[in-house]
Chain A
Amino acid sequence: SSELTQDPAVSVALGQTVRITCQGDSLRIYYASWYQQKPGQAPVLVIYGKNNRPSGIPDRFSGSSSGNTASLTITGAQAEDEADYYCNSRDSSGNHLVFGGGTKLTVL
């Protein structure tokens, strides 16, 4: 079982805002990072650190954190944002990295 918990599925209307959350005790200590994965493709980093976007990631993607919960927000979701999203962080021991179970985002 994962030490990071994500909702299995979330949906959003085209152009609306959606928040994907990741819960875990280790998030009180470590930043989460977020990955987008489309079918048949390798994951792509979308958010890391406090709220950093790699080059090429649209600014509609943002990250935040409060207590034991990290969030990925997509402001003005586009059809191409439909994908699986995973959070990642260290576990409470600090000696393991762990992924959340993933959230399947559907853009309606």
Chain B
Amino acid sequence: EVQLVESGGGLVQPGGSLRLSCAASRFTFSSYTMNWVRQAPGKGLEWVSYISSSSSTIYYADSVKGRFTISRDNAKNSLYLQMNSLRAEDTAVYYCASSRMIAVAGTWGDYFDYWGQGTLVTVSS
């Protein structure tokens, strides 16, 4: 069974930094696009960032662009999220999730097939 295990969450002061990691096992990590998705307490899901299998394509949500950096190490089966200039509104459970794409008759779409259990990031003084 595929496993994605996040780590690195914790309490950090506003303006501080934190690096999240996601360790993947039991699937071909290097073949998968990976993402970070977050969920603030009592709120909905928010997509944060996307990285293609070779790291050639990277996207960020507008809310984190310029502050967060996604990266991966396929040799270590690991995904990372470097978070700088943290704000109170970044407080959330952060999930890593693998994604794939399906295309049928000219229409296509992404889907998140595997998810980790999440790591809590709290930004507070």
Contacts and interface: CB of A to CB of B under 8 A. Distances in A.
* A-B interaction: yes
Nearest to A98: B47
User: Which size class do B's interface residues fall under?
Assistant: 20 to 34
B98 to A, nearest CB: 10
B29 interface: no
A32 interface: yes
Contacts of B107: 29-31, 50
A43 to B, nearest CB: 6
Contact of A30 (B109, B112, B113): B109
Interface of A: 2, 29-33, 35, 37, 42-45, 48-50, 52, 54, 84, 86, 88-90, 95-102
Interface of B: 35, 37, 44-47, 50, 59, 61-62, 95, 97, 102, 104, 107-113, 115-118
